[in-house]
Structure 1
C-alpha cells in the first residue's frame, strides 16, 4: 500500500507576498544572467585574443611559448564560455518566464520558470561536483608526484 504524502492533501498557495518575492528574484536573476552573458562575451573575446596573441607577438621577435600554447589557452577560454552559457541561459529563462507568469497568472510559464531554475541548479551542482573531483585528483597527483622525490 502506498502512503500518501502530506503534500498530496493540500494546495500550495502563492500569496501576494510570495509573488513579491518571486518578482524581486526575477529582477535579480535577470540582472545576473545579463552579467553572465557579458562575461561569456568577454571570455570568448579573450579566448580569441589569446589564441592569436602569440602569433602577433612573433611578428616582432621570438616568444617564450610556442604557438600551440596560446591557441590551447584560447580554446580553454572558449570551451569554458560555452559550458558557462547553459546555466546562464537557464537563469535568464527562469527570470523571463517567472516575470511573464506573475503578470499573466499563467501556470504554464510558472512551471517553465521553475523547470529552468531546477536545470540551472542541477547544472551548477554537477559542475561543482566535477570540479571538486578534479581538485581532489590534482591534489592526489601532486602528493603522489612529491612522494617520488
Structure 2
C-alpha cells in the first residue's frame, strides 16, 4: 500500500493509490452534486405549486383547516428558503468535484488546493447548518416540555 510522503521542499505528494481514491471521490462528489441540483429543482417546483395545492385541498374539504389557509406566499417562501439553503453545500460540492477532476487532467497542484477549499466550505456549511438545526430542535423540545407542564397544572 502506497503512502503519502513529505518531500524535502515541504510539499505533500500523494501516491498512485491515494490519487486513485481522490479521483474516485471526485467522481462520486460530482454525481451527488448533480443529484443535489435535481433535488433543489424539485423543491423549487414544489414551492411554486404547493400554495395552490394547499388552497385546492382546503376548498375541497367541507371543513376549513386553518393550517391549509396559511397563505400561499408563506409556504412558497419557506420552500424557496429551503432551496437556497440546500443550494450552497451542493454548489460547493460541485465546485470541489469539477476542480479536482480538472486538476488531475492538467496535473495542477493549485487547482487541487482550490478544490479542497470548496470541500472545506461544503463541510463547514453542513456543520453550521446541522448545529443550527440541533439548536432549533432543542428550543422546540424545551418549549414543548414547558407548554406541557403548564397545561398539566391548569
TM over 0.5: yes
- Aligned runs of 1:44-83 on 2, under 5 Å? 44-56=44-56, 63-65=64-66, 67-83=69-85
Report which stretch shifted further, 61-70 or 113-122: 61-70
Structure 2 unaligned residues grouped into runs of 5+: 1-7
Q: Within 1, Cα distance between the matches of 2:144 and 2:59?
A: 37
Unpaired runs of 5+ residues, structure 1, are 1-7
Deviation >4 Å, runs of 4+? 55-63
Of the structure 1 ranges 125-134 and 51-60, higher mean CA displacement relative to structure 2 is found in 51-60
**Aligned-pair distance for 1:51?**
2.1
The answer for the alignment partner of 2:11 in structure 1 is 11
- Whether 2:40 is the aligned partner of 1:40: answer yes
Q: How many residues align?
A: 143
Match of 1:105 among 104, 107, 125: 107
Structure 2 SS opposite 1:86: helix
1:17-42 alpha-carbon deviations (Å, 9 max, x no partner): 11100110011000100000000000
Cα RMSD of the aligned pairs, angstroms, is 2.3
**Aligned equivalents of 1:107, 1:115: Cα separation in 2:** 13
Q: Which has the higher contact order (CA 8 A, sep 6+)?
A: 1
Using structure 2 for the length normalisation, give the TM-score.
0.83
Give yes or no for contact 2:58–2:65 (8 Å, CA) kept in 1.
Answer: no
Check conservation: 1:33, 1:89, Cα contact below 8 A: yes
